[in-house]
Structure 1
Amino acid sequence: MYQEDCALPDTFLQMREAEVLVDVTLIFDHWHVKCHKVILAGMTKFFHSMFVVDMLERNSNEVVMSSIKASTGKLLIDYMYGATIEFTPKNAQDLFIASDMLMLDNLKNRVVDYLCEKADYTNCVSILNLARFHKVDLLAERAKLVLLDYVEEVDEQELDLLKEDDLIDILTTTANYYHEDSFRLVQRWAKSGEKRSNRFCPLMDYVRLKQCRKEFIENVIAADPRMLEGLCYRRLQEVRNTVPPEQFVVGDDDGNMWMCSVGSEQWQLMRRPPARYELCSACIFPLGFIISGGLYDNVYQTHCHAYHAKYNRWDKLPPMTNPRSNHASVYHNNCLYIIGGVDGEYAYVKSFEALDMRTLQWMDLAPTPIRLRDPIVVVESDHIFVLGGYLECDYTPCSRDVCEYFDSKWEVKACSMPEDCDAGAAVCFDKHIYVVGGRNETCMRINPLLDQTWVDLDRPQFNHFYGPALVWDDKIIVCGGDDVDAIEEYSPQDDSWSIWKLKMPKKGCMRFALRIALPL
Structure 2
Amino acid sequence: MDLEPVEQYHFKDAELSCSLLLQLNRLRKEHILTDVWLCSDQTEIPCHKNVLVSSSHYFRAMFCNNFLEKQQSKIVLKSITPVILGTVIDYVYTGQARINMNNVLPLMQAAAMLQYGRLFEACSSFLQMQLSPNNCLSMIRLSEILNCDSLRVKAKEMAKRSFSDVSSSEDLCELSLPELMGYLEDDGLYAEEEQIFETLVAWIHHDPLSRKGAISDLFKKVRLRYIHPTYLFQFIANDPLIQSSTLCTELIESVRRLMFSVSTKYIKNTEFESLWVAQRRYTCQDRLVVVGGRKNNEQTSREALVFEEHTQTWQRLAKLPIRLYKASYVALHSVLYVIGGLTTTAKYSQVTSTVYTLSLKTNQWRLAEPMLEPRFGHQSLSYLHFIFVLGGLGPDRQVTASVERFNSMFNQWESMAPMPEAVLHPAVAATNQRIYIFGGENAMQNPVRLIQVYHIARNMWSNMENRTVKNVSAPAAVIDDKIYIIGGYTRRMIAYDTTSNRFIKCANLKERRMHHSVTVLNNKLYVTGGRYINGHDVIQDSDGFECYDPKTDTWMSKGPLPHKLFDHGSLTLTSVQQTWAKS
TM-score by length of 1: 0.54
Other structure's SS at 1:421 match? coil
Report the CA distance between 1:172 and its aligned residue: 10
Residue 311 (1) aligns with residue 369 (2): no
Deviations 1:118-170, CA, capped at 9 Å, x for gaps: xxxxxxxxxxxxxxxxxxxxxxxxxxx9xx9xxxxxxxxxxxxxx96775797
Pick the aligned partner of 1:348 from 399, 413, 424.
399
Q: Deviations over 1:14-50 (max 9, x none)?
A: xxxxxxxxxxxxxxxxxxxxxxxxxxxxxxxxxxxxx
Task: Specify the alignment match of 1:290 in structure 2.
Answer: 337
CA distance in 2, matches of 1:504, 1:164: 54
Cα displacement (A) at 1:464: 2.5
In the alignment, which residue of structure 2 is the partner of 1:456? 505
Contact 1:421 1:439 in 2 (8 A): yes
RMSD of the TM alignment (CA)? Answer: 4.1
Distance 1:333 1:353 in 2: 15
2:472 alignment partner AA: D
Partner of 1:516: 573
The percentage of counterpart residues that share the same residue type is 20
1:245 to partner: Cα distance: 6.7
Match of 2:375 in 1: 324
State the shift of 1:425 in Å. Answer: 1.2
Q: Compared with structure 1, are the counterparts of its residues 177 and 475 closer, same or farther at alpha carbon in structure 2 (3 Å cutoff)?
A: closer
- Which among 541, 546, 549 is matched to residue 488 of structure 1? 546
Q: Does 1:506 align with 2:557?
A: no
Distance, in Å, in 2 between the alignment partners of 1:338 and 1:237 is 29
Letter in 2 for 1:408: R
Distance apart, 1:288 and its partner CA: 2.0
Following the alignment from structure 2 to structure 1, what is the Cα–Cα distance between the partners of residues 279 and 353? 45
- The alpha carbon displacement at 1:506 in A equals 2.0
Q: Which moved more, 1:250-259 or 1:362-371?
A: 250-259
Tell me the equivalent position of 1:302. Answer: 353
Distance apart, 1:171 and its partner CA: 8.1
Counterparts in 2 of 1:372 and 1:168: CA distance versus 1, 3 Å: farther
* More off after superposition, 384-393 vs 321-330: 384-393
* Residues 4-403 of structure 1 mapped to structure 2, 5 A cutoff: 178=227, 239-240=281-282, 242=283, 244=285, 246-253=287-294, 254-256=300-302, 257-297=304-344, 298-393=349-444, 396-403=445-452
- 1:445 aligned to 483, 486, 495, which one? 495
TM-aligned CA deviation for residue 280 of structure 1: 0.4
**CA gap 1:275/1:355 in 2 versus in 1, 3 angstroms:** farther
Distance 1:314 1:171 in 2: 32
Distance 1:493 1:431 in 2: 14
Q: Does the 8 A contact of 1:249 with 1:516 survive in 2?
A: no
**Aligned partners of 2:543 and 2:561 also within 8 Å:** yes
- Separation in 1 of the partners of 2:215 and 2:384? 25
Instruction: Tell me the SS of whatever aligns to 1:384.
Output: strand
Contact 1:464-1:480 at 8 Å conserved across structures: no
- Which amino acid is 2:562 matched to? P
Task: Determine the C-alpha separation between the residues in 2 that align with 1:367 and 1:439.
Answer: 27
Kindly state the Cα deviation for residue 177 of structure 1 after the two structures are TM-superposed. Answer: 7.2
Secondary structure in 1 aligned to 2:544?
Answer: strand
Whole-Å Cα distance in 2 between the matches of residues 226 and 412 of structure 1? 36
8 A contact 1:467–1:510 mirrored in 2: yes
Q: State the alpha-carbon separation in 1 of the partners of residues 273 and 226 from structure 2.
A: 25
- Establish whether residue 425 from structure 1 lines up as the match of residue 482 from structure 2: no
**1:457-497 CA-partner distances (Å, limit 9, x unpaired):** 22111332111112222222221212222222222222222
**Structure 1 residues 176 and 255 mapped into 2: Cα distance closer, same or farther (>3 Å)?**
farther
- Structure 2: distance between partners of 1:423 and 1:237: 35
Segments of 4+ moved more than 6 angstroms: 163-166, 168-177, 179-182, 223-227
Secondary structure of the structure 2 residue equivalent to 1:514: strand
C-alpha distance in structure 2 between counterparts of 1:469 and 1:452, whole Å? 23
| C-alpha distance in 2 between matches for 1:451 and 1:225 | 28
- Cα separation, 2, equivalents of 1:226 and 1:507: 45
Aligned equivalents of 2:358, 2:328: Cα separation in 1? 13
The aligned amino acid for 1:464 is R
- Aligned mates of 1:288, 1:350 — CA distance in 2: 27
Letter in 1 for 2:557: I
Change (3 A) 1:239 1:456: closer
| Alignment-mate amino acid for residue 306 of structure 1 | T
Q: 1:250 to 1:317 in 2, by over 3 A?
A: closer
The answer as to whether partners of 2:328 and 2:380 remain within 8 angstroms in 1 is yes
Conserved 8 A contact 1:420-1:440 = no
Task: Provide TM-score, normalisation by structure 2.
Answer: 0.49
Q: Is the 8 A contact 1:464 1:484 kept in 2?
A: no
Alpha-carbon shift at residue 424 of structure 1 (Å): 1.2
SS at match of 1:331: strand
Cα distance in 2 for residues equivalent to 1:306 and 1:430: 28
Shift of 1:509: 1.7
Count of equivalent residues: 320
Gaps of 5+ in 2: 1-193, 198-211, 238-245, 252-263, 295-299, 532-540, 578-583
The answer to whether the 8 Å contact 2:290/2:568 transfers is: no
Q: Offset of 1:443 from its aligned partner? A: 0.6
Aligned CA distance change for structure 1 residues 243 and 354 (closer, same or farther; 3 Å): closer
Is the 2:417–2:459 Cα contact (8 Å) retained in structure 1? Answer: yes
Aligned residue among 517, 526, 542 for 1:477: 526
Superposition deviation, residue 365 in structure 1: 0.5
1:63-109: CA deviation from partner (whole Å, max 9, x where unpaired)? xxxxxxxxxxxxxxxxxxxxxxxxxxxxxxxxxxxxxxxxxxxxxxx
SS of equivalent to 1:454? strand
1:201-242 Cα offsets, whole Å, 9 max, x none, are xxxxxxxxxxxxxxx9xx99xx98968xxxxxxxx89944x4
Which structure has the larger Rg over C-alpha atoms? 2
| 2: CA distance, partners of 1:179 / 1:246 | 18
Q: For structure 1, which runs of at least 5 residues remain unmatched after alignment?
A: 1-144, 149-162, 187-194, 201-215, 228-235
Provide the rounded CA distance (Å) in 2 between the counterparts of 1:245 and 1:491: 17
8 Å CA contact 1:437, 1:478 repeated in 2: no
